[in-house]
Amino acid sequence: MTVKAGLTKRQIRIKIVSKLRKQKEEERLRKSEKILTKLFRLEKIKKAKTIMFYLDFDGEVKTAEMIKKALMMGKEIAVPVCSVKERQILPCKMGLETTLKKGPYGINEPLKKEFVPLSKLDVVIVPGMAFDRQGNRLGRGKGYYDRFLKRLPKKTYRIGLAFDFQILPSISFSSQDERVDKVVFA
């Protein structure tokens, strides 16, 4: 997909959401599998004790198999719980037997909440509407991940996951925006 220079963040989001929803499920699964392979080759993932994954939503890169694989490797896994009142994300422990329910924005989250301190997170896997190769990220527009990433210790490594059409030549960046250290895509 070509995203023309000069589009607003809102216009880019509309184009990407449309592309995510039009992508065939078998293509999404195939690319997500490639991303999983690339992700688990990274030294940061191999060495991490605690990894926070997002739970995919609305056509995003699928993370369920990644979470399973990490759990089988003995990693502690956290996933985001959205606190609308506090306008923030809280990392919550997840295991193979964790029961999920729809959260405030329709995104799954654990039914039973056991929160994980930010200081324990070695790696955070970050969703995005779009990324550029410098690690700039365009989210869904509510700022939850930007506020969350600002609160993380400097040592926490941030990895964005994306499909190839979500990688743009550049994304405008402001003081509220937070970058990722690496983007893994297919």
Is the Cβ–Cβ distance between 138 and 128 less than 8 Å? Answer: yes
As a whole number, mean pLDDT of residues 89-114 equals 94
**pLDDT range class, residue 182, cuts 50, 70, 90:** very high
With 60 as the cut, is the pLDDT of residue 58 above it?
Answer: yes
3-38 residue pLDDT tens: 555 688 889 999 999 999 999 999 999 999 999 999
β-strands 130-132, 137-138: how paired?
Answer: antiparallel
- Specify the pLDDT at position 4: 52
With 90 as the cut, is the pLDDT of residue 112 above it?
Answer: yes
Mean of pLDDT over the chain: 93
Closest CA to 113 of 82, 86, 73: 82
As a whole number, mean pLDDT of residues 62-73 equals 97
- Specify the pLDDT at position 1: 45
As a whole number, mean pLDDT of residues 137-149 equals 92
Q: Could you give the maximum distance between any two Cα atoms of the chain, in Å?
A: 46
What's the distance, Cα to Cα, between the start and end of the chain in Å?
14
C-alpha span between 20 and 22 (Å, rounded) = 6
Question: What stretch of H or E contains 83?
Answer: strand 76-83
- Specify the pLDDT at position 85: 86
- Specify the pLDDT at position 174: 81
As a whole number, mean pLDDT of residues 77-97 equals 93
With 60 as the cut, is the pLDDT of residue 63 above it?
Answer: yes
C-alpha span between 186 and 97 (Å, rounded) = 29
Q: Domains of the chain: which residue ranges?
A: 9-185
As a whole number, mean pLDDT of residues 123-139 equals 95
Long-range CB contacts for residues 18-21, cutoff 8 Å, separation at least 24:
19/165, 19/166, 20/58, 20/59, 20/60, 20/163, 21/58, 21/59
Strand partners, 17: none
Superfamily (CATH H level) for 9-185: NagB/RpiA/CoA transferase-like (3.40.50.10420)
Is the Cβ–Cβ distance between 74 and 86 less than 8 Å? Answer: no
Q: How far is CA 104 from the centre of its chain?
A: 17
As a whole number, mean pLDDT of residues 135-163 equals 95
